[in-house]
Structure formats: C-alpha cells, structure tokens
Chains A and B, each alone.
Chain A
Amino acid sequence: GQQVMQIPQYQHVQEGEDFTTYCNSSTTLSNIQWYKQRPGGHPVFLIQLVKSGEVKKQKRLTFQFGEAKKNSSLHITATQTTDVGTYFCADGSGNTGKLIFGQGTTLQVKP
C-alpha cells in the first residue's frame, strides 16, 4: 500500500546552517505535498509538487520532485530559529483518495 519513508527523523543545526529532509516511496507518486507543524500546533500546508523533476522555491525553501516521481526533498538555506518544527511529506495519490504522511523530520535550530 501507500507508504512514504522520511529521513532523517531528527536534525539539530546551528542557526545559519542548511537543512535537508528526504522523502522516498517504493511506488510512483501522483503528487507530493509538504507540511510544517510548529511545536504544539497543527500541520500547515507548504507546497504541492506534481510534475516529474519539478523544483519550486519559497524564499529560503527549495522543494524538489524526483524524475521518477518516487522521491522528494525539502532544502532550507541558512536556517533561522523560526524554521523550528516538524516537516512532513505526504503522498496524495489521487486514485485512492488517501493522503498518507511520512514520519516527519523534526528540526531544532540552535541560535
């Protein structure tokens, strides 16, 4: 069934360092969505990728969708303390209607 693996589970960085989280699937994804959950909060949608090889940027965040549509990554350049939280990828395979989340990567940023 649908399953997405996300690594690493935790990442501690010094403020100003870069950060990357990876999402992998054994099956082809119709789309991949990324969410951020602040501590004590609820997930908030960041972006959706649909096309093979797609790259999208939001300020310091860069999202990529693999050529085979089986993996995706989120890269944050020059982290800030406001980037703290858990980042989730989600498999939005339209055929089933399910939205399946990866385990998430929790980012801690030391000022």
Chain B
Amino acid sequence: DGGITQSPKYLFRKEGQNVTLSCEQNLNHDAMYWYRQDPGQGLRLIYYSQIVNDFQKGDIAEGYSVSREKKESFPLTVTSAQKNPTAFYLCASSRLAGRTEAFFGQGTRLTVV
C-alpha cells in the first residue's frame, strides 16, 4: 500500500528537549517537504529536499534541522532553540519538487509542556 507515513500521531515533550518526527514514503518520490500548521493558519514551509542527500531551508527553518540520507526518509528534529514548537507538523512528498502534486502524511501533533 503506497503512501507517506508520519509517526507518531501525537507527541508530548518537555520544554528544552529535542524531538525527532519521522516521515517515510514508499512512492519513490524525489522531493519531500516539512510544513508547520498553527490553529487557523496556513502551511508554512520549514525545510524541503529536492533529492536525496540535499535539502534547503524554507521560510521558518530556525530551531529545526533535517536530514535526507535515504530517498524514502526525511526526519525533522525540533530543537530546544525553537521558541514555540507546539504545532501540527505535516510532511509531504512529490515526484518533482514544486512541479507535481504533493502527497501529505497524516501529520504529527506536537505539544511541548
């Protein structure tokens, strides 16, 4: 069953701790993206990767880090430097970056207390 999987669905962390959100796709897509969504707001781009072993900062990269060591995986680390990390995080993939439809995972709702 092809698709994009994010885990976990809900995540709770204490302030000051780093946390890594998982994103895996088996669609053989080159491009992957991470977005942050706050209540009543749109999707803001954190990081994106057009191809394996390469990634670029999006509009709100501060306090986040990513890696793209494998084509199917694009984990996002929310570091303690992120001032307001509580949000809904969405991962997406597309065959060609920016030029073909994006498929989204179910999202991870991160709460930092």
Give chain A's interface residues, CB within 8 Å of chain B: 1, 6, 30-31, 33, 35, 42-45, 48, 88, 90, 92-104, 106
What's the Cα separation between A106 and B40 when bound, in Å? 9
Give chain B's interface residues, CB within 8 Å of chain A: 31, 33, 35, 40-45, 48, 50, 56, 58-59, 90, 92, 94, 96-107
Cross-chain contact B97 with A45 (CB below 8 angstroms): no
Add 11 more A-B contacts to A6-B42, A98-B58 (CB < 8 A). A42-B104, A88-B42, A88-B43, A92-B98, A92-B99, A94-B96, A98-B98, A99-B92, A99-B98, A101-B35, A103-B41
Cross-chain contact A43 with B41 (CB below 8 angstroms): no
Residues of A close to B104: CB separation below 8 A: 42-44
Query: Closest approach, in angstroms, between the C-beta of A30 and any C-beta of chain B?
Result: 8
What's the Cα separation between A95 and B42 when bound, in Å? 23
Residues of B close to A96: CB separation below 8 A: 98
What's the Cα separation between A44 and B90 when bound, in Å? 12
Instruction: Tell me if A's interface is mostly helix, strand, loop or mixed.
Output: loop
Cross-chain contact B43 with A101 (CB below 8 angstroms): yes
Cross-chain contact B42 with A97 (CB below 8 angstroms): no
Residues of A close to B103: CB separation below 8 A: 45
Nearest chain B residue, comparing its CB with the CB of A100: B45
Question: How many A-B residue pairs lie within 8 Å, measured between CB atoms?
Answer: 72
What's the Cα separation between A1 and B45 when bound, in Å? 13
Residues of B close to A102: CB separation below 8 A: 42
Residues of B close to A31: CB separation below 8 A: 98-99
Query: Closest approach, in angstroms, between the C-beta of B46 and any C-beta of chain A?
Result: 11
Which one of B40, B42, B48, B56 contacts A99 once the chains associate, using CB atoms below 8 Å?
B48
Which one of B58, B97, B102 contacts A94 once the chains associate, using CB atoms below 8 Å?
B97
Residues of A close to B102: CB separation below 8 A: 33, 35, 43, 45, 90, 99
Residues of A close to B107: CB separation below 8 A: 42
What's the Cα separation between A1 and B101 when bound, in Å? 21
Which one of A43, A45, A93 contacts B43 once the chains associate, using CB atoms below 8 Å?
A43
Cross-chain contact A103 with B42 (CB below 8 angstroms): yes
What's the Cα separation between A30 and B99 when bound, in Å? 8
